Structures are given as structure tokens and as C-alpha cells.
A and B are shown apart, each in its own frame.
Chain A
């Protein structure tokens, strides 16, 4: 099932797409490691779907190129067995049953009908397979879309906002499902505008905003620097003790935020200085906070030349 997992599964180089005077994707370059689960992140309108459509040969780029296992999608010898993609949940006829939708795709891909039953079972949709897809709930539509991506047992999965419209149970199911796929060694590229939906699943992230690359790399890199939040009735004395230890201190309302020391070290310093503590907590900026900062349209202080 899973082929070579070394190198890049996806390579996007200098990709641009303009609609009239508007740049949906602007000189975008990134790579997706084979065998990794990569989150393709950005706010709504960042250019994620446009990028995926170009990658999958559904849209033509204005400039640049996107390749899958070294080839443009349209040049792949057996696309269904190489890439499974779910770009939107409405990609089926509302009057056709889920099973027949999958059967039509299986026939097109030259796959046996038994494979349809297998993927229906995988996404837990067998019981509703003969109902018309137009009557499906949002979660069932997402499952049907996922079933379609899995028909060819592909090495690479490209999923565009698969958690859109799902309730918490649906998101939990999706997370477990993606984890299972990742455990099989598949490469997964999953786009989302909500980092928390994919943060627990992805190995790497590619963050774009206004069609441009903002950050890419292992998801850990998006974690902000660790700080310690500490409260004491004698804050000035505590701040002075911490600064003498070489750490940096900033004021946050009635507490101090300490960077350069961990919680245990701050506690020991306070104890040594005879200072009472009312709160001592390790704190790090959440992935969501870092993501929002990366994709914020507010100019950063350093960009304006203001003191940090």
C-alpha cells in the first residue's frame, strides 16, 4: 500500500495564481515530507484551496509548478492509487446513494466493487450507504468524501477542510481516523483554518496567509517560548530576585511572566528569598496563539520599528 516514504511527496515551487488583479496564491513554495501528516494552515481566503486545486490539476497556475512524487498530477500513471483527494463535501449528486457514488468512482478507477464495501466499512457508513447522499448529515457527507479518497488505497491523501461543519463527536472521529491513516505510513496533507482541529494530528505545518508562505516545519516549531507565570504579594521583590538570577521578567496585570527559568527554578528562587507565592504556573503560548499571530493582519511592533 504505502510506497517509498523518503523525500518529498509534494513539492510546490514558485506557485502563483491570479484572478484578474487579485493574487490568490503568490509565489508559494513548500514541500511535504513523504510519510508525514502535514497541516496546511491559513485563515479563510488564504489560498489553501486554490493551491490544492492547482496541485490536483483542477486549476491552472499563473506561474510555478506543483508536483506529486516528482510529477504533475496530470502526468501520474495511476492517479487513484497514488492520490486520494477530498476537496469539498458537496462533490456528489444529491439524488445518488452513497454506495452508487462510490461505485461510479470505483468503476472509473478500475477497482472491484468489493473495495466500495471495504471503504464504506472503514468510514462507518455501511448502514446508510443506500440512502441518497443529499439526505446525509454533514458528518456523513464528510465520511463519504473520505471513503472516496480511500478507494484506490492511495499513498497520499489530500484533504481540504475535512472538519468543516462537524460536531465535536465528528471532529473526534476524524482525528482518530487520521491518526489511524498516519499510523499506516501514508502521507497526509490536511488543510484547515482552525489549527486546534489538526494540531494533535499533524507532524509538520505549512502556514500561508494572503497566498504567501508564512512558516513551515515541524509543528513543535509553532509552540511559543515557555514562560512562567508567578504571583506574589511582594511582586517587586520577586522581580528583582528573578532578574538577579539572569532571567527576564515582564509584568502581566498582578503577576509576573518569567522567561529563562522554569517553574521549579522560580519556586526555588522565591523560597530562597523568603517570598510567599500565590501562583506558580508553567505557560507557553498555545499553537493557536502562535498561528493567529502568524496570520494576523495587524502589523507587528518590530515591523513598525517600535520597541519590543
Chain B
């Protein structure tokens, strides 16, 4: 497994895909922090938590990062090159998931640095109660977990669907259309969707969402379900 992981990490470092998503992440974090601070007038503790809870918006970027990375293997037909060295496609997929999870953590950490570097000075000028250590811990833990797990889930979805356009469009539709519809129809069911779970784990706690621990458990469950399905489908798929 270490060979697969090292190879996947090397592949991640040697294209511009990861860099592109990292830049997109930085821009998104800048936008979120600046908008929520300057336009949102955060005076309550909840508002201030929202400013630093970048795991919510960023997890979608990392989810797409995983989807694009996994489907690129099929798009550029590099999946066969790997399978000719390691015939177990499940092993390759797991290695890729772990590599993207680590990349997600790294990108998440970078984004946290950006968010904290901008957000904390801006929040210090706002009125109302100040954030305490547990708020920062929750923001850090939630953001990192949401980013890492989001990227891993993205890889599983990518392996499952294989077609890059279909996987990206499908993920966006599920995240931005299907999930809100499910939540609107039934908040009890909707909070177990991976979109809501990512939001909950990302640090923005709201009334109807899962608590942090259960949200992480739900994301892990979704990732395992997607990986199992992906492994089953991929082992039966003829590689073009």
C-alpha cells in the first residue's frame, strides 16, 4: 500500500490540478471570510464561528478535487498503467483515496492559515463576545476533517462514475439540488445526506444539523459505501 500511496502522492504533486484547486480554495476562503466579516456584521458568537468555519464551503471544492482527480485516471487512460503494475484495482483506489485525503488535509490547513490570518484581526474589531479556545479547536478540527473526508469521498465517487463530466455534474446536482430538496422535504432524513453532513462537520452548527461527531461518522459511512460500490463496479469494469 505504501508504494501505491507514494505513487499517488507523486502524481498529485506533478500536475497543476492540485495547485488549481488550492488556488480556488484560497479565493473561496478569502471571499467567505471577507464577506461574512465585512458585510455580515458578525456580533454574535455564532456569527463569529461562521467566519472561521471554512470547512463547509471548502469541503465542496475538495470533494470536486477528488472527483476530478479520480476520473482523470479514466479520462487520460492512466488507470491502465497503474493496473498493469498493481492488478488489484481496489488497492489502487484505496491508495488514491488516502493520498487525496492527505492532500485535502494539507489544502485545508493552508486555507485555515489564510482564514485565521485574515479573520482573527477582522473579528477583533467587532463588538460582542469573543471566540474561545474551543471555538478555534472546533473550526480547525471540523475544517480539516471536512476537507480530508470530502476529498476521499470525491475519489470514491470518481471511481464509481469514471466519466469526468458526469461525475462532476452529478456531484454538483446532488450537492446543490438534491440535498436541499431532501432537507426541505424532511430535515430528519436530510441531515444524513453527505452534503449536510459535510456542512455540519465543517463547523457551522445549526439547529437541524447533526452534531460534529455524528456528522463525521456519517461522512465516513458515505465514503465507505461509495468506496465499496466503486470497488465492486470497478472490478467488473473493462478498462478502456
Which residues of A are at the interface with B, using a C-beta cutoff of 8 A? Answer: 53, 56-60, 73-74, 76, 79-80, 83, 85, 87-88, 90-97, 100, 103-105, 107-110, 148, 152
What are 5 A-B interface contacts by the 8 Å CB criterion? A56-B84, A58-B84, A58-B239, A100-B10, A107-B6
Residues of B within 8 A of A110 (CB): 3
Contact across chains for B10 and A79 when beta carbons are under 8 A apart: no
CB contact under 8 A between A90 and B10, given known A53-B238, A57-B87, A58-B239: no
Indicate if the CB atoms of A53 and B239 lie closer than 8 Å: yes
Q: Which chain A positions have C-beta within 8 A of B77?
A: 88, 90-91
Q: For residues 5 through 42 of chain B, which have their beta carbon under 8 Å from a beta carbon of chain A?
A: 6-7, 10-11, 14-17
| Cα separation A109 to B84 with both chains bound (whole Å) | 10
Given contacts A53-B239, A95-B15, A108-B86, 16 further A-B contacts (CB under 8 A): A58-B239, A60-B238, A79-B85, A79-B87, A83-B84, A93-B11, A95-B17, A96-B11, A96-B14, A103-B10, A104-B7, A104-B11, A107-B3, A108-B3, A108-B7, A108-B85
Instruction: Tell whether, in the assembled complex, residue B80 and residue A87 are in contact, meaning their CB atoms are under 8 Å apart.
Output: yes
Instruction: Contact check, B238 vs A93: say whether CB atoms are below 8 A apart.
Output: no
Q: Complex: how many Å from CA A43 to CA B86? A: 31
CB <8 Å contact, B76 and A108: no
Does B205 belong to the interface (CB within 8 Å)? Answer: no
A residues in contact with B180, CB < 8 Å: none
Instruction: List residues of chain B with CB under 8 Å of any chain A CB.
Output: 3-4, 6-7, 10-11, 14-17, 72, 76-78, 80-88, 236, 238-239
> In the complex, are the beta carbons of B87 and A73 less than 8 A apart?
yes
Q: Enumerate chain B residues within 8 angstroms of A59, measured Cβ to Cβ.
A: 238-239
Q: With A53-B238, A93-B72 in contact, do A107 and B80 touch (Cβ < 8 Å)? A: no
Chain A residues with CB below 8 A from B6, complex form: 107
Give the residue of A60, A76, A152 whose beta carbon is less than 8 angstroms from that of B236.
Answer: A60
Chain A proximity of B17: nearest CB distance (Å): 7
- Bound-state Cα–Cα, A85 to B62, Å: 34
Determine whether the beta carbon of A92 is less than 8 Å from that of B76.
yes
Q: Which residue from A73, A74, A91, A97 sits with its C-beta under 8 Å from B80? A: A91
Check A148 against B15 for contact (C-beta < 8 Å): no
Q: How far, in angstroms, from A108 to B85 measured CA to CA in the complex? A: 7
Question: How distant is B21 from chain A, measured CB to nearest CB, in Å?
Answer: 13
Q: Is the CB of B85 within 8 A of A80?
A: yes
Once the chains are docked, how many angstroms separate the CA of A191 from the CA of B114?
Answer: 54
CB within 8 Å for A93 and B7 given contacts A58-B238, A73-B87, A105-B81 = no
A152 to B85 Cα, complex, angstroms: 9
Q: Nearest CB to that of A58 among chain B residues?
A: B239
Say whether A93 contacts B15, CB under 8 Å.
yes
